[in-house]
Structure 1
Amino acid sequence: MSEARILVVEDEESYRDSLKYLLRREGFDVILAADGVQGVEAFTRDGADVVLLDLMLPRMSGTEVFREIRERSNVPIIMVTAKDDQVDKIIGLEPGRR
């Protein structure tokens, strides 16, 4: 059985590197993207079993990345964000509606 592939889309290098280290230590295959455009490209090229997605990204917002990925796949997407405003939470959930 192959290891699960996790796509981490996070612009903050220290968070990205920490997640990569911890996830690889647990046996996951990890793909990294530093902005929204790279995230969509990485998903298109490599696929993923799970996506860890920051909401606040350069070049393309996390919400836009969510929509792009959701158009192609029903892969689980976990929103990772420092935002805690109620409106931001609702906006973050909106792309998953069908």
Structure 2
Amino acid sequence: MHRPLNDVVGGVITGIPEETDLAQALSDRETSDLLVHLLDENREQVERALERLREGAYGVCEGCGRRIPEARLRYQPAATRCVECQSHWDRLNGRTA
């Protein structure tokens, strides 16, 4: 004797979210994952800037060794390169600004 599928699985079928709910949940998860990644990346940059501060190297460009302009450090406190060297580094590493 066969029972209808709905009788066998009961709440499982009714517990499946609507297609749009599932799409929204997946989108929310992707957004959350991206935010976690960006926050982690930002934390690493701040830790690196603090380390450079302790070493006396904060504000000195890793690329050319010149002082990073104060305006850049105000805008991007964790910067380790001047704008010119950062642009060059980004091009070499396939990154776009």
Q: Shorter-chain TM-score category?
A: under 0.3
Query: How does the TM-score come out when normalised to structure 1?
Result: 0.25
Normalized per residue, the structure richer in strand is 1
Query: How does the TM-score come out when normalised to structure 2?
Result: 0.25
Larger radius of gyration, structure 1 or 2?
2
